Amino acid sequence: MAKASAVLQPRSHDEDINIGLEKAYRNKMAESLSQILAATYRLTIKSHVYHWNVVGPLFKPLHDLTEEHYGLLFEAADIIAERIRALGHLAPATLGEAADFAPKANDVGKLTAVDMVNDLVSDHEKAVRTMRQAAEEADDAGDVVTADMLTDRLTFHEKALWMLRAIIAE
């Protein structure tokens, strides 16, 4: 019987795993998912900042929508990080300079609700393009779990884009 201390020893993220996915693919996908995780945090932070600071006739719908979005984005970050772990890699310990994720304080006061929406649309579109590429790579590798997760994420982002655009439609 194994000693408890041996069982509880942390294992390296470099350990060999055999889940039917090539190591080179898992390395590449972990990097792609790390970029997607960073984009998710960027959108979480921007959505939260805009939630607090939006003013004008679009205040209520944008305030409510960004609150819904930042909550869902925060939950998604955990799902993405856990998939990185399942592929045998450590989830990123840093996500770059977090200050770069948020709009600059002096700029926020100058942005209209429409400016905020357009900024969020731009970031959602960039995230969608990255996710779509990663989902295609996951499909090609037979990684149905990652492909399915990314399909869920794409569904959220494309709906978010529709809703954001609808708020500012004339």
Domain with residue 135: its CATH number is 1.20.1260.10
Residue 8 lies in a domain: no
Residue 42 lies in a domain: yes
Residue 26 lies in a domain: yes
Could you read off the pLDDT tens digit of each residue along the chain, which spans 170 residues? Answer: 556 555 555 555 556 788 888 999 999 999 999 999 999 999 999 999 999 999 999 999 999 999 999 999 999 999 999 999 999 998 887 666 455 556 656 677 788 999 999 999 999 999 999 999 999 999 999 999 999 999 999 999 999 999 999 999 98
Domains identified in the chain, total number = 1
Residue 12 lies in a domain: no
Q: For residue 143, what are the domain limits?
A: 21-90+98-168
Residue 52 lies in a domain: yes
Please state the pTM of the whole predicted model: 0.85
CA gap 134, 128 in Å, rounded: 10
Cα 168 to its chain centre, rounded Å, is: 24
CA gap 77, 70 in Å, rounded: 11
Residue 1 lies in a domain: no
Question: What is the per-residue pLDDT for 90?
Answer: 87
Question: What is the per-residue pLDDT for 86?
Answer: 94
Q: Which residues contact 17 (CB under 8 A, 6 or more apart)?
A: 26, 88
Question: What is the per-residue pLDDT for 2?
Answer: 56
Query: Quick check: 61 and 167 in contact, CB under 8 A?
Result: yes
CA gap 119, 97 in Å, rounded: 19
CA gap 122, 161 in Å, rounded: 9
Query: Quick check: 137 and 29 in contact, CB under 8 A?
Result: yes
Helix (H) or strand (E) holding 25: helix 23-53
Query: Quick check: 46 and 102 in contact, CB under 8 A?
Result: yes
Residue 122 lies in a domain: yes
Residue 2 lies in a domain: no
